[in-house]
A and B are shown apart, each in its own frame.
Chain A
């Protein structure tokens, strides 16, 4: 069995983002880049599945669409424990473009399980995983909080409104994962970091592809009005404000 984990390369989630070029581009000065948090959890779960010999998993591959600048992030995924990596050498244009490049690069590789994070912390689209599944003609399950393999069958837990549903899905499949899939992201050990240097990282060139959307410009959120403080000895005043000023309760 082979697992593919799609990873995105994003600014550290504590970054105070700024934009340049008439708000058209992200100002990358000083930004720390990391593996998208959900993708990091996906990778952790993939490695946990591989650690269990009864699951019979030969390899965990990571794939990324991006330029060479993302290679430290990909090496980090290898250091955490992925066996090999694939980078499609293209500047992402939109989700459809990224999903199409991934689909094109992996369609002949016959992965049994493809894991994607439910969103990337930069564009918050929740889009690439489902698109990839559709392009590959695989079933997909979204909002996944657990992936197990039992006697070669995939048992996937997905969140539904007001609860959870455990589904059995025929492989190959795409699981689009959220919180809960793994407890904490796995951290690279020194041995892993050394080994990552020599693990295979294949670079392929992109195919010609149109995008469906263009990001025209960014905007910063409007500053909120200053906080109005209420006397801690008299919180009833808060109720009064919520009722008569905010008119919300």
Chain B
């Protein structure tokens, strides 16, 4: 029996979400009195792999095959499902990111394993196996009973505390089958934005809405983001107007994020916007309208015009950084 954690790597590197997943899987394994096994697909250096051990994986498996060049959801499912069976995994843990969303449903069918998607805490009980997840875009939560013998969970990003454990871990390479003829997805082009903090990975996000009045006024938002090491985001009207790129749209139909700190600047806080950001640990709102719904979701607020408040805020931060 085991808990199998699928840990994606990005060109052989892991990031915070990887360690979050392993921390979660290790705690779950502890609850189940079993081992946490981390699985990654494709070459990763030993030093990098050892990090997974630090967060509680007792065994680290690296699935390798020279044919693996593209993320093909069918073949990846075959590789992960094969290892899950070999390792007698009772629970599989994946991230609820793009990759996890592509794989978990296929694995659920392949392994006849009930799926709890987007969980943000450990199961409330193991028998019955009860998980808790956000529904109605954060306006409610649901308690879900997973009835199958094998279970799959996808973990919301930035929802679980990292925890290091001093346990020893072993690393093993596993040669896996890869059906080249069965690869139905071929990459034609890759467009990457280098050197930018990803919105979904960011601890702090500075987001602007229609209250910013025009795209020329974004300067202080970008400045604030640079000072705080934050990512920039925006509300839907702003991306619809083309003031900012679509990738920055946070909200129900855009990106759903859960940073430690979210600045909503000139954003009124409609239900659809809150659906994308309500899991943030702290929300700061700056808005001219004291009755704006964003203040009901925020811990800290400033009633005022962003155009006047932001330069002062930037100045105060610069002063602090200067010290």
Residues of A near B185 (CB, < 8 A) are 139, 141, 167-169
Let me know if B261 and A166 touch, CB within 8 A.
Answer: no
Let me know if A179 and B253 touch, CB within 8 A.
Answer: yes
Residues of B near A37 (CB, < 8 A) are 252-253
Residues of B near A231 (CB, < 8 A) are 302
Interface pairs A-B: 3 shortest CB-CB:
A130-B105, A232-B304, A212-B114
A66 to B288, CA, bound (A): 44
Let me know if B98 and A158 touch, CB within 8 A.
Answer: yes
Q: A123-B135, A123-B142, A214-B147 are in contact. Are A163 and B192 (CB under 8 A)?
A: yes
A27-56 vs B, CB cutoff 8 Å, 1 = contact: the mask equals 000000000011000000000000000000
Let me know if A167 and B187 touch, CB within 8 A.
Answer: yes
Let me know if B191 and A163 touch, CB within 8 A.
Answer: yes
Let me know if B189 and A128 touch, CB within 8 A.
Answer: no
Let me know if B261 and A248 touch, CB within 8 A.
Answer: yes
Which residues of A come within 8 Å of B, CB atoms?
11, 13-17, 19, 37-38, 94-96, 99, 118, 121-131, 133-135, 139-143, 145, 155, 158-170, 173, 176, 178-180, 211-221, 224-225, 227-236, 238-239, 241-243, 246, 248-249
Instruction: Please tell me the number of chain B residues within 8 Å of chain A, measured between CB atoms.
Output: 96
Let me know if A227 and B137 touch, CB within 8 A.
Answer: no
Residues of B near A133 (CB, < 8 A) are 73, 105-106
Given contacts A96-B109, A224-B299, A231-B302, 13 further A-B contacts (CB under 8 A): A118-B101, A124-B118, A127-B108, A131-B105, A142-B102, A161-B201, A165-B187, A165-B189, A215-B143, A216-B130, A218-B142, A229-B302, A249-B204
Let me know if A130 and B304 touch, CB within 8 A.
Answer: no
Question: B176: CB under 8 A from chain A?
Answer: no
Residues of B near A216 (CB, < 8 A) are 130, 142-145
Let me know if A213 and B115 touch, CB within 8 A.
Answer: yes
Question: B172: CB under 8 A from chain A?
Answer: no
Residues of A near B228 (CB, < 8 A) are 249
A167 to B102, CA, bound (A): 14
Let me know if B308 and A232 touch, CB within 8 A.
Answer: yes
Residues of B near A162 (CB, < 8 A) are 192-194, 196, 198
In chain B, residues 258-278, which have Cβ atoms closer than 8 Å to a Cβ of chain A? 260-261, 270-272, 275, 278
Q: A161-B200, A162-B198, A218-B135 are in contact. Are A134 and B284 (CB under 8 A)?
A: no
Let me know if A127 and B282 touch, CB within 8 A.
Answer: no
Let me know if B261 and A242 touch, CB within 8 A.
Answer: yes
Let me know if A212 and B300 touch, CB within 8 A.
Answer: no
Let me know if B109 and A134 touch, CB within 8 A.
Answer: yes
Let me know if B190 and A163 touch, CB within 8 A.
Answer: yes
Residues of B near A221 (CB, < 8 A) are 138-141, 278
Closest to A41 in B: B253
Question: B41: CB under 8 A from chain A?
Answer: no
Let me know if B301 and A242 touch, CB within 8 A.
Answer: no
Let me know if B142 and A127 touch, CB within 8 A.
Answer: no
Residue from A145, A167, A248 in contact with B186 in the complex, judged by beta carbons closer than 8 Å = A167
A223 to B97, CA, bound (A): 27
B115-140 vs A, CB cutoff 8 Å, 1 = contact: the mask equals 11110000000000010111111111
